[in-house]
Amino acid sequence: MAETVSFLKPRVVNPATNPAIDEIVRANIAVKRANALELLHAIAAEHGEVTFANSFGAEDMVLTDLILTERLPIEIFSLDTGRLPAETYTLMGEVEKRYGTRLKVYFPDATAVETWVRREGINAFYDSVELRKACCNIRKVEPLKRALAGKKAWITGMRAAQSATRTELPVRQFDDANGLEKYNPLSDWSEQEVWAYIRIHGVPYNALHDQFYPSIGCAPCTRAIAVGEDVRAGRWWWEDPANKECGLHKK
């Protein structure tokens, strides 16, 4: 009998999204989870009007799972820039089904987007840092201000180890740009701990992560990275690492 030959490429497993999990790791994640929950409860109790900015990255899915499974009194919102990857929209739908919720989504002002594109061009963000930041301002920063209006504090999924612009990220800080308290509950979490939590608790996540996308934003501004590259190397990869922020998280 002739031997069957397959021409399909073998699936490449991303080691970053599939960490080894033993009892020590499980115990560590249990402690991390308890500490994060304690902080989230304290934030809600202190401020009352609290919201969480969910961009559907791995870190944000950890916080989404904590908030929704524990039914914490913390609002969750997302920004739809109009240029997100299809995989992100798929995850948004999965989140609504998994947790029995409806997402609160903010969109950029249509007139502002139309004006910018007609003036600068559809992909002008590649041409200069100034144009890219102008695009981010229209699609992200302005909608964020509407999302934060009336709130006393907001929560992000940022981690200190994510990039050169976040190395000294505190758990709590005052956001001068938006005039309210800002919390980063996963500031001291490692990438391995984030993924261990996701695997242990079966949390849904963006399929692009398995394709070596550790950080996911707008589709044209995000690419996969090589093993060993900085986790933010795939964001605005044509720019200097010192500029790799969109304006949502000004120091």
The residues that are catalytic are 246
Residues 6+ apart with CB under 8 A from 110: none
> How crowded is residue 200: how many other Cβ atoms within 10 Å of its Cβ?
14
Q: Do the Cβ atoms of 118 and 83 come closer than 8 Å? A: no
What Cα–Cα distance (Å) separates residue 203 from each residue in 15, 60, 91?
17, 11, 11
Six token digits for residue 32: 């991390």
Catalogue the E-assigned strands of the chain: 50-53, 75-79, 104-106, 153-155, 172-175, 180-183
d(CA 55, CA 36): 19
d(CA 103, CA 97): 11
